[in-house]
Amino acid sequence: MSDAIERLQSNWSEELPHGVMEWEGNVNEVAGLETLPNRSGDVDGMQLGVPSTGNLGLVLSSPERVDEYVETHADGNIDVPQYYSGFPERDDLFVERGGDGLRSDVVEAGIRVLNGGGRYDESEFTLYDCLQSDDVMPCPLVRGGHGCVLLTPALKPE
């Protein structure tokens, strides 16, 4: 695990990871991105609405690899609220595209992981929309120059 954190910090920021979120010891690969998935648990300042193991993946890969992922899988951006109070209720979807979506609590947890506690500047965050194609993919949430998490979509029951 220390090797994974070392790669994360050399590719992004020495301050990562923030919060109380616990991370799995094994690195996963998602479409060319190395991620450290979360274990079930809460993040500083919030409780997740439903079991959340693996809904967030702290990206270890370089910003250039994230750019390649975005070019291949993203179709635009999704705005994030200016304040934590602007998020929908924890069990609601933050955004929905044809039955697939992102849970509000997972998006908020991603911001808290990349930001730490306290206020955040929404202009530092870019949430890429990877829900609009036939092949729905995890959505990268990037805090410019700081870090990235992949957010697992809530897929329709099919």
pLDDT above 70: residue 47: no
Q: How many CB atoms lie within 10 A of CB 69?
A: 23
Instruction: Indicate yes or no: pTM above 0.85.
Output: yes
Q: What is the pLDDT of residues 143-155, one digit of tens each?
A: 988 999 999 887 6
Q: Would you state the structure tokens that stand for residue 41, as one six-digit string? A: 């648990």
Please calculate the CA angle 106-111-113 and round it to the nearest 5 degrees: 90
Mean pLDDT value of segment 76-97: 82
Strands (E), 25-76: 28-30, 33-37, 56-59
Residue ranges per structural domain of the chain: 1-151
Q: Would you state the structure tokens that stand for residue 48, as one six-digit string? A: 């997740």
Q: 1-5, 50-54, 55-59: which has the highest mean pLDDT? A: 55-59
Contact 75, 132 (CB under 8 A): yes
| pLDDT for residue 126 | 96
